[in-house]
Structure 1
Amino acid sequence: MAAGRRGLAPLSKNLLYVEVERRIEDLLVRKRYRVGDRIPPEAELVESLGVSRATVRAGLSRLVERGLLERRQGSGTFLARPPEGVRLRNGLERLESYTVHAERLGLELGSRGLKIERVAASAEEASALEVPEGTPLARVERVLLVDGELAAWMVDVVPEEIMAAGEALEGFDPNAMLLDLLVSRGVPITHSKLLIDAELISPDDPVGRALELGSVSAALSLIETMYLENGRPAQWSRNIFLPGHLDLHVVRELYEVRRIS
């Protein structure tokens, strides 16, 4: 691998090996390793991930325990079974754009039916963004494609004073996220609140038609509000993912248990 020693974003020492495990698995998917292939040696993983050898070993050990990798004495570590299917994978511990996940996995994002327009805030949007109903917003709506396949219906709205529809229209990259554009333009987004739910999508409703459903389908609904460093809402999003296109996971540290004597 030719990646530089950038290192991973700061994490608790108790969690870093879990992140390394995830990054190694992403590498196996992105580089399209096959069963029986030897994976990069520890020294190379240490260099590319920017972590200690002990942390890399811990991450590899977890993959061995899961049966994904096999260690062969004197030969190295080999892929024992195919990794999970290629899909967007989002760790809930961090706010990252799907663009970053796609690049990490070697996936190509695209858009279909892209609409960028100026709208008046609905009651739901106004409540989430803490603005009066009817406030001018820039609205971005589209169907997200992942490697050419229909993956999700997405809508993002931002107050016009943060980014006008004309500016969004001029700067938006159909292969990226609105979050990428906002941060690139200096909007100081620091965190978000995310509501995850399951819902049924009918082929007759607007989302179902946009996703070209032939029958009722279960879907994953993500409603997210992103905030500036001063706590003010800056962007509200609703994303509806079809099954098989997004993995969500969270790493949790042990906090408290009831001890049994």
Structure 2
Amino acid sequence: MVRRRLVVELGQNRVGPLNRSLLYVQVERRIEDLLVRGRYRAGDRIPPEAELVESLGVSRATVRAGLGRLVERGLLERRQGSGTFLVRPPEGVRLRNGLERLETYTVQAERLGLELGSRHLRVESVAAGPEEAVALEVARGSRLVRVSRVLLVDGEPAAWMVDVVPEEIITAESVRERFRPEAMLLDLLVSEGVPIGFSKLVIDAVLVRPEEDVGRVLNLDSVSAALSLVETMYLTDGRPVQWSRNTFLPGRLDLHVIRELFEVRNIS
């Protein structure tokens, strides 16, 4: 069942640096991830501000603002003269995908200290079906390379991922030889010099049932909500080069977008 759909375009070189006024929001997320990775328990004293300033590489004021947001959310408590303590642990760390830029999950995982892996990895040479042919603008029956797998995050199933590219871009043999289970196919294409420019992403909220193919490979024992991400990568000249369909389990991917005010209508 599809409840909501969002379509966005992501570009590697289309967005400038984030507004520094939003840095404290990023710091809030990084502190939250630090608490999860450090396995802090309720009642534990967290690192002091000076230590967070050094480890995060930001100002004390920014760290204080990020901590303040966690205090407001009820995760932390400041005790005069004693420090800051964990009231309740945050939810498990997850991949964080900023929709305003094209960045692989490999890069995100490295930044967050997460370990990625693969299960049920298959690399096949296949004929383009109707949907793949339309997305990649090739003739039906054209030869494609399909990479499918269960993405593991810290050893736990997080997503079912299917990527296809035309064989003229890279062969199945090359992918088998060079693809790393902890990386993305996009990482391989970029390392091979394929000039990726931007992508178009369609996001659906769906239900996955245990008896479905995706439900079986993700070891579901009951119906689960999930995020379906269908993405088409384009070359810098505008031609499609990769089509992907990813299904993420709840709590494994945090999608967000930062929007700056561009134009408003004066109604006075």
- Looking at structure 2, the residues matched to 123 and 178 of structure 1 have their Cα atoms a distance apart, in angstroms, of 22
Task: Compute the TM-score of the two structures, normalised by the length of structure 2.
Answer: 0.81
Instruction: For CA contacts below 8 A with separation 6 or more, give which structure has more relative contact order.
Output: 2
Deviation at 1:17, TM superposition (A): 1.9
Uncovered stretches (5+) of structure 1, i.e. residues with no partner: 1-8
Q: What do residues 117-146 of structure 1 show as CA deviations (whole Å, max 9, x unaligned)?
A: 112222222222233333322110112223
- Looking at structure 1, the residues matched to 103 and 253 of structure 2 have their Cα atoms a distance apart, in angstroms, of 14
Who is 1:61 aligned against?
68
Stretches of 4+ moved more than 6 A in 1? 257-261
- Given the superposition, is the C-alpha separation of residues 81 and 147 from structure 1 closer, same or farther in structure 2, using an over 3 Å criterion? same
Who is 1:251 aligned against?
258
Which of 175, 190, 193 in structure 2 is aligned with 1:186? 193
- Given the superposition, is the C-alpha separation of residues 85 and 179 from structure 1 closer, same or farther in structure 2, using an over 3 Å criterion? same
Percent same amino acid at aligned positions? 78
How many residues matched? 253
Given residue 235 of structure 1, which amino acid in structure 2 is its aligned partner? Q
Which of 119, 125, 145 in structure 2 is aligned with 1:138? 145
Matched, 1:222 2:229: yes
- Looking at structure 1, the residues matched to 98 and 36 of structure 2 have their Cα atoms a distance apart, in angstroms, of 17
Deviation at 1:112, TM superposition (A): 1.8
Uncovered stretches (5+) of structure 2, i.e. residues with no partner: 1-15
Matched, 1:211 2:213: no
Matched, 1:27 2:34: yes
Given residue 84 of structure 2, which amino acid in structure 1 is its aligned partner? T
- Given the superposition, is the C-alpha separation of residues 39 and 236 from structure 1 closer, same or farther in structure 2, using an over 3 Å criterion? same
Matched, 1:172 2:213: no
**Does structure 2 retain, via aligned residues, the 8 Å contact 1:14–1:253?**
no
- Given the superposition, is the C-alpha separation of residues 42 and 115 from structure 1 closer, same or farther in structure 2, using an over 3 Å criterion? same
- Looking at structure 2, the residues matched to 183 and 254 of structure 1 have their Cα atoms a distance apart, in angstroms, of 33
- Looking at structure 2, the residues matched to 188 and 47 of structure 1 have their Cα atoms a distance apart, in angstroms, of 37
Q: What do residues 67-114 of structure 1 show as CA deviations (whole Å, max 9, x unaligned)?
A: 222223344333232111233333323322223333344433222211
Structure 1 vs Structure 2 CA RMSD: 2.6
**Does structure 2 retain, via aligned residues, the 8 Å contact 1:26–1:104?**
no
Given residue 234 of structure 2, which amino acid in structure 1 is its aligned partner? Y
Which of 125, 133, 140 in structure 2 is aligned with 1:118? 125
